[in-house]
A and B are shown apart, each in its own frame.
Chain A
């Protein structure tokens, strides 16, 4: 069974479906959320707990999760980081 590890995060990529969704809680500089989905074609959503760190994020697009109606929930796309939240 294939095992991958990005820094201190080990996971089993073979168990992730091609159209699967990854959530990255604690994105920091976006490494996991940029690199792992890009390598496998997975879709990833990013959740960042720090406004200060979020301020320096080029990869994150700040969106208001609560202001979105259910039918306009951001659609996750491959390699894209969609939200900064959970502060």
Chain B
């Protein structure tokens, strides 16, 4: 069901911060954070940097929305630089925008030089375009069995 579908109805939800949300799993190491919040990634990641310590995040996959607002690029670059400074290895899988950026925590996942080269050269240029449809179709099959 999509929010535009008939039958959708308003509900009340609480507003919580990034730290509040992550605190829902207080004893867990967050292995992956996927973030797609329609342009608010920059202020959230910038403001929340103390809440994204190197200790307990492994990967962040972020869709920045500079493809909708080119003026946001300086802020995006600043956030990327900040996360690099916090110890994240950064891979931009998208070619012309920051629409698909992966941050890997070097403290938890010390990728070798070969692995980094493999990611940036082989996967970015050759393989990523094909795996999205595969994982989606496989998972849909699992869900519908």
By a beta-carbon cutoff of 8 Å, the part of chain A in contact with chain B is 1, 3-12, 15-17, 20-26, 28-29, 31-36, 38-39, 42, 45, 47-58, 62, 64-67, 70, 73-74, 76, 82-87
Contact = CB atoms under 8 A, between A and B. Distances in A.
Contact of B140 (A5, A17, A35, A66): A35
B36 interface: yes
B139 interface: yes
Nearest to A70: B26
Contacts of B136: 6, 31, 35
16 contacts: A8-B94, A10-B61, A10-B123, A11-B32, A12-B102, A15-B58, A20-B29, A21-B28, A23-B21, A23-B25, A45-B21, A56-B7, A57-B3, A64-B14, A83-B21, A86-B15
Contact of A9 (B15, B28, B37, B61): B61
Interface residues of B, number: 67
A66 B118 CA distance: 43
Given A24-B34, A52-B8, A82-B24, 20 more contacts: A5-B93, A5-B135, A6-B136, A12-B59, A15-B108, A25-B37, A28-B36, A32-B36, A35-B140, A35-B143, A39-B142, A45-B24, A45-B25, A50-B3, A53-B3, A55-B3, A56-B5, A56-B8, A73-B23, A74-B24
A66 B108 CA distance: 30
Nearest to A45: B24
B141 to A, nearest CB: 10
Given A11-B102, A35-B143, A66 B25 contact: no
Contacts of A32: 34, 36
B16 interface: yes
Contacts of B31: 15-17, 20-22, 42
